[in-house]
Amino acid sequence: MKTDLKLPVLGLVDSDPYGLKILSVYMSGSKNMSYDSYNLTTPDIKWLGVRPSDLNKYKIPEQCRLPMTDQDIKTGKDLLEEDFIKKDQNWYAELELMVKTKEKAEIQALSSFGFQYLSEVYLPTKLQEKDWI
């Protein structure tokens, strides 16, 4: 679909270090499936959201933001050393912001504005503005 329709592949994950790990598996494959990574990866996947900068941009309420655990912070710092993060200054800046603020949020935080906010406001806005990195 990406090739035929010339559409970007976009990732929507939680705003936490594990969301980035999920994107990295789509980008370069998992260790368990490394023998077939060519057929199972999307090296140019774009991070649509939920990104740390979205928390303020979309005014996600404080009660919907979660404090990062010590393990989350360690994982975030470890990810800052990974090549796939280092090679993209935007991804690096987002992860750095996450570690600095020690805040994370799940996609479900967007439902604090209503159940249809994700599909009727957040995603259409991100897509219209081509707000992915």
| pLDDT mean across residues, the chain | 91
Confidence of residue 1 (pLDDT cuts 50, 70, 90): low
Number of H helices, E strands in the chain: 9, 4
For domain 2-127, give its CATH number from 3.90.1200.10, 3.40.1360.10, 3.30.465.10, 3.30.390.50: 3.40.1360.10
pTM of the model: 0.87
Tokens standing for residue 78: 């470890």
- Give the Cα separation of 8 and 128 in Å (integer): 13
Residue 38 has pLDDT above 80, yes or no: no
Q: What percent of the chain has pLDDT over 90?
A: 79
Q: Mean of the pLDDT values across residues 53-57?
A: 97
Place of tokens 């790990």: 21
For range 56-68, the mean pLDDT:
96
- How sure is the predictor about 40, in pLDDT bands with cuts at 50, 70 and 90? low
